[in-house]
């Protein structure tokens, strides 16, 4: 399955009043990894056509200002009109968070989700993938 890994640093804006990562930072890093994956596959034109319909995150550890974090994201499942990306965020002390983001394919001029094109399907699931 296609996957990517990116590296970021925990910035001041990524922290909350307790001094560690704000919960939304994890989702921003997952979305940054998703964007990099789509760029690598040559399908970043999907931006604006893939609204999030579900996300789930398990927080395992804290990340602090200045920490270097690695986010690994991969295609976990591909359905007729949706896809699920799984991800892990690792910091200096190991796994900090893991989860998934489900997106739907929705063309701007359509009232509901639309099927993936054959091109996109082939790139997101070059091997057989479980339907969702």
129 located within any domain:
no
Number of domains in the chain: 1
Tell me the pLDDT tens digit for each residue of 21-65.
Answer: 999 999 999 999 999 999 999 999 999 999 999 999 999 999 999
Q: Would 61 be classed as within a structural domain?
A: yes
| Residue 131 resides in a domain | no
- The answer as to whether 46 is a domain residue is yes
**Helices and strands (H, E) in the chain, number of each type:** 2, 5
- Residue partners of 54: CB distance under 8 A and separation at least 6: 100, 101, 102
What's the pTM?
A: 0.91
Does any domain span residue 63?
Answer: yes
The CATH number assigned to the domain holding 28 equals 3.10.129.10
Report yes or no on 40 lying in a domain.
yes
User: CA 18, CA 64: separation in Å to the nearest integer?
Assistant: 10
Owning domain of residue 21: 3-124
What pLDDT, in 10s, does the model give residues 58-112?
999 999 999 999 999 999 999 999 999 999 999 999 999 999 999 999 999 999 9
Cβ atoms of 103 and 85 closer than 8 Å: yes
Kindly report the number of other CB atoms within 10 A of residue 125's CB atom. Answer: 19
In a domain, 17, yes or no: yes
Query: What distance in Å separates the CA atoms of residue 84 and residue 114, rounded to the nearest whole number?
Result: 15
In a domain, 23, yes or no: yes
């Amino acid at each position: 399955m296609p996957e990517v890994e990116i590296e970021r640093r925990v910035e001041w804006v990524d922290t909350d009043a307790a001094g560690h990562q704000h919960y939304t930072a994890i989702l921003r890093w997952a979305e940054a990894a998703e964007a990099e994956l789509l760029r690598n596959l040559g399908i970043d034109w999907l931006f604006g056509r893939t609204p999030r319909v579900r996300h789930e995150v398990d927080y395992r550890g804290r990340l602090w200002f200045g920490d270097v974090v690695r986010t690994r994201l991969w295609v976990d499942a591909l359905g007729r009109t949706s896809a699920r990306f799984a991800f892990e965020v690792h910091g200096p002390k190991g796994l900090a968070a893991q989860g998934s983001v489900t997106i739907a394919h929705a063309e701007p001029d359509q009232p509901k989700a639309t099927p993936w094109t054959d091109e996109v399907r082939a790139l997101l699931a070059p091997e057989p993938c479980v339907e969702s």
